[in-house]
Structures are given as C-alpha cells and as structure tokens.
Amino acid sequence: MDSAPHTAEGQGGPDRFTDVQSSEEFAELRRAQRSFAFPLTVAFIAWYLLYVLLSNYAGGFMDIKVAGNINIAFVFGLAQFLTTFLIAWWYSRHAARRIDPKAEAIKERLEGDA
C-alpha cells in the first residue's frame, strides 16, 4: 500500500501547468477576462466616486427634486444598485460566451494528459 501523497508530479509534473500557462491559448483566456473586467471595473469605480463626490460637494445639485420627494441623490443611489446588477449580468454573459469555453478546453486538455 502506497502511503505517499498524490501530487501533480505523478501526473506529468508541474511542468505541464507551466506549459499551459505559457501557451497562446491561456494568453487568450487571460486577455478575454482582462479586456472585459479591467475597463468595466475602472468605469464602475469612477461612477461610484462621482456619486460620492457629488454627494459631498454638490449638495445643491443632489437636492434637486425629480418627482415628489425623490431627488437626484436618491436616483443616483438607486442607479448604483442597478449598474451593479447590470455589470454582474453582463459579465455572466461574457464569461459564458468567451471565457468558459476557453477555460473548459484548457481543463479538458490538462485532464486528458493526466
């Protein structure tokens, strides 16, 4: 009975992971994720900071009534939630179309080599 722990070395060693990481296929996967996530993250942070800065320094503007007791600050606050959910939905679609198939192909290739 073998009591040695099973490691990746027994299945081709860590070199196969390094080979995958340096492959063009993996670079495409990283590009697909980063080209979506980074710009959208920057845009959302800018949008959030705009809301915070307007709330702190443009009280008169944020107090403008839109309808009844609903002012611009309330609308911006709700828009923060809306954009959060829209970004999550959009990323989910992007991942399903562009990221998941590439990741699955890499996973199948790695598991097939084992």
**Residue 41 placed within a domain:** yes
Q: Looking at the 3D structure of the chain, how many domains does it have?
A: 1
Q: pTM value? A: 0.74
pLDDT over 70, % of the chain: 87
Which residue carries 């670079």 as its tokens? 27
Q: Where are the alpha helices (DSSP H) in the chain?
A: 15-21, 24-57, 59-62, 72-94, 100-113
**Residue 11 placed within a domain:** no
Between 13 and 65, name the one with better pLDDT: 65
**Residue 13 placed within a domain:** no
Domain span at residue 38 reads 20-113
**Residue 79 placed within a domain:** yes
Question: pLDDT class for 10, splitting at 50, 70, 90?
Answer: very low
* Amino acid making up residue 1: M
**Residue 4 placed within a domain:** no
